[in-house]
Structure 1
Amino acid sequence: MKQSVGRYGIWNGGGLRSEEPERRGEIAEAAAELEELGFGAVWLGGSSSGEHAAPLLEATSRIVVGTSIQSIWQYDARTTAATQAELDKAHPGRFALGLGVSHAKFAEQYRRPYSALVAHLDALDAAGAPADGRLLAALGPKTIELARDRAAGSIPYLISAEQTAKSRELLGEGPLLAPELKVVLESDPTRARTLARDYLAIYLGLPNYTNNFLRNGFTEDDLKDGGSDRLVDAVYAWGTEDRIRARIDEYLAAGADHVALQVVDGGPRYDLPREAWRRLAALLR
């Protein structure tokens, strides 16, 4: 999977997985353009599934399409395995099943998430789903080791370059490590950090992320008022094009094989920021 996703991908929180019939053409066109721009993968945010990936796979010929993530609480293993087999048959090597435990706020049955994830992987194995076709959204050490031992790697969300290095150490050299990184194409510090904080706010209300920040050297003060400058600067790339490119390179130098870039521009989560994607593609050349 490392070779197929390339070094850079696009993470999109909702626009590319919209189920509105009138948007199908626009979404297909956007996916095809991302492939033409040279991105190696598209990651579908929220609680996405293989059904959301299928239209993008059909609209393209090379790019990998992954779920980031499919919630283990929302989809049963047998259905997931069947969908994965269908997509693998139709588009060999181009669907990446990204799995995660989501958050207690979004899953009524949320209990003992690590044990539930292990049980879900057991059920996928029993249903014949290949371990090398799935990835885990791994933040803590135990889940990172699970991604190493029972998946093709890890697709962590909202982590710093420093934690990327720690993840690589636990994963070893073989598995894929593909962290998400938010990008604000704005060079004014006040404007850039304001946009970043507005978007970061929802995540600072989710214990999975805040606990992970605290586990990795941030303090309670860093989590107040939308996040300290220190926190914002650690999990965002913003500034001039040269500075943004340097931030992305920090993640690669820390051990990432691939960086999933999410544009944050203050627009609705279901937007397709195509001009920003073009700017990103140009600065990555």
Structure 2
Amino acid sequence: MAARRGDGAHPFSQPVAQTAVTRAALGPEALVIPHQFLLTGVAPEHARELLRAVVALDTRGESSPYTANFRRLGYTDADVVGRRSDRLMDAVLAAGDPEAVAARLRAHRAAGADHVLLHPLAPDLASAVDQLEVLAPLLGLAERV
């Protein structure tokens, strides 16, 4: 339906593999704009716990459409039910040093994304903007004026 009746799709909080699946399903003309949680400059263990707090808001658990989709992508119940696995958290969260985060964003583009919606995990707007400013030059984007 996204390809026929809309201009594309916006996969929310999905791994890069979903970007490739979405591009294949929609064809070359539709927009594919995946959502990407990100967190720069934080140890992976801490970043995963922050994201787990965000995704814990999804109380549908095993019956969630997200859970069903993760299973289609090859994740097991051990990954997706209850406390989400490190493997899954690492797949939906771009975290670590800025170069690693930028590499994940480039991976979405290589998988067929037209754009990537960036969602910095941050306590306030200024901190979110700080993360984006660090990433911009690594992605070939103009610096803020």
Q: TM-score range by the shorter chain?
A: 0.7 to 0.9
- In structure 2, C-alpha distance between the alignment counterparts of 1:161 and 1:170, rounded to whole Å: 14
- In structure 2, C-alpha distance between the alignment counterparts of 1:163 and 1:237, rounded to whole Å: 15
- In structure 2, C-alpha distance between the alignment counterparts of 1:164 and 1:170, rounded to whole Å: 10
Task: Give 1:205 shift.
Answer: 3.0
Give the TM-score, by structure 1 length.
0.45
Residue of structure 1 equivalent to 2:107: 250
Which residue among 45, 55, 58 is the counterpart of 1:190?
Answer: 45
**Contact 2:12 2:36 (8 Å CA) reproduced:** yes
Task: Give 1:193 shift.
Answer: 1.3
Structure number with greater CO (CA < 8 Å, separation at least 6) is: 2
Percent identity at matched positions? 36
Listed as ranges, the matches of 1:41-190 within 5 Å are 146-190=1-45
**Contact 1:186 1:192 (8 Å CA) reproduced:** no
The answer for unaligned runs of 5 or more in structure 2 is: 138-145
Listed as ranges, the matches of 1:239-278 within 5 Å are 239-265=96-122, 267=123, 272-278=124-130
Greater Rg by CA: 1
Listed as ranges, the matches of 1:194-209 within 5 Å are 194-203=49-58, 205=60, 207-209=64-66
Q: Does 1:211 align with 2:63?
A: no
RMSD: 1.6
State the secondary structure of the residue aligned to 2:109.
helix
Residue type of the alignment partner of 2:40: L
**Contact 1:179 1:259 (8 Å CA) reproduced:** yes
Residue of structure 2 equivalent to 1:91: none
Residue of structure 1 equivalent to 2:83: 226
Residue of structure 2 equivalent to 1:237: 94
Give the TM-score, by structure 2 length.
0.85
Which contiguous aligned blocks of 4+ residues in structure 1 show a shift greater than 6 angstroms?
none
For residues 59-86 of structure 1, the C-alpha deviation after alignment (integer angstroms, 9 at most, x for no partner) is: xxxxxxxxxxxxxxxxxxxxxxxxxxxx
Task: Give 1:212 shift.
Answer: 1.1
State the secondary structure of the residue aligned to 1:274.
helix
State the secondary structure of the residue aligned to 1:203.
coil
For residues 218-261 of structure 1, the C-alpha deviation after alignment (integer angstroms, 9 at most, x for no partner) is: 11100244310110011110000111111111111110011011
The answer for unaligned runs of 5 or more in structure 1 is: 1-145
